[in-house]
Amino acid sequence: MSDAEKKPRFPERTGYTYTDILTWDERYELLDGEARMMAPPNRAHQELLGELFAQLHGFLRGKPGKVYPAPFGVRLFPRKDNQDDTFLEPDITVVCDLSKLDDQGCKGAPDLVVEILSPSTAKHDLLYKLNKYLQAGVREYWIADPDEKILHVYTLVEGSYRLSKYDAGDKVTVTVLPGCLIDLRAVFTG
């Protein structure tokens, strides 16, 4: 592989914005202006995503609120000039306030965000994204670990996250969707 092939398809610098993202062919997330390329997910990731999405989608059918699987863009701190320096693509996004939706995705904090861990994203999801979601006011942040078959649920309470952990045999109440119960036996099969 030549040096030219190894270089990213955009100029190397920091301080990228949502305007830059709109011009790129590949999928990237931005965290404080730093671009991070999105790796393709593996089969276990997609099966877990599919089951969680199916349960959430089934619950929301005919009710207010929308659920979206990745790729779906979230601009946590939207600016009218599109110079946002944080742009994320959660694995699953639930939005109850439909005024936050536009043709590009969600502008502002979704109500529920789900990230599915992989070796390449674990630190990013458990540290950086957790802090950004908290700062933006995401009311519920779920981190699913397909290897350990554990779900970490961070619920926003008085400005900080309260952590609860669930395993493959549990049923989990979705705080932001009253009456919604997720069966983790179906989620963590395989």
pLDDT, average across residues 109-132? 84
Q: What is the pTM of this model?
A: 0.87
Q: What's the pLDDT score for residue 13? A: 62
Please check the confidence at residue 16 and state whether its pLDDT lies above 70: yes
pLDDT digits (tens, 9 = 90+) for 138-157: 999 999 999 999 999 999 99
Write the CA distances from 76 to 113, 148, 169, integer angstroms: 11, 29, 33
Closest residue by Cα to residue 161 from 140, 177, 143, 179:
140
Buried b (16+ CB within 10 A) or exposed e, 122-156: eebbeebbbebbbebebbbbbbbbbeebbbbbbbb
pLDDT digits (tens, 9 = 90+) for 42-97: 888 899 999 999 999 999 999 989 999 999 999 999 888 878 788 899 999 999 99
In the block, residue with structure tokens 């965000």: 113
pLDDT-derived band of residue 171, with 50, 70 and 90 as boundaries? very high
pLDDT, average across residues 11-38? 79
Buried b (16+ CB within 10 A) or exposed e, 8-34: eeeeeeeebbbebbeeeeeebbbbeee
Tokens of 67: 């659920």
| CATH code, 42-187 | 3.90.1570.10
